[in-house]
Amino acid sequence: MSSCNKKVLNRLKRAEGQIRGIQKMIEEEKECIDVITQLSAVRSSVDRIMGIIVAENLQNCLQNPEEDLNVQAQKIEQAVEMIIKK
């Protein structure tokens, strides 16, 4: 497993723990603002995870280019679009 995959999995596990915490907060009828704050933290965490994955794939694409330049350009364009959509 690559170091990037380990990093992504660790971040996903952390986000999973945060979501479980939010579920518990809702069960305990915690204040809405507290729940929203935690949901915002999870959203930020997921955004960072997506960024790591896109950056890794883009780096791989540039370091190991496709023989077909059109395919290569398409992959790079997809990665840029994913970054822009954030």
Q: Tell me the CATH number at 42.
A: 1.20.58.1000
Q: In the block, which residue shows the tokens 């965490």? A: 45
Range of the domain at 39: 3-85
| Residue 31 pLDDT > 80 | yes
Global pTM reads 0.77
Q: Phi-psi bin for 29: left (phi > 0), alpha (psi -120 to 50), beta?
A: left
| Residue 27 pLDDT > 80 | yes
Q: How many domains does the chain have?
A: 1
pLDDT tens-digit series, residues 37-76: 999 999 999 999 998 998 888 888 888 888 888 888 888 8
Contact indicator for 22, 13 with CB cutoff of 8 Å: no
| pLDDT at site 32 | 96
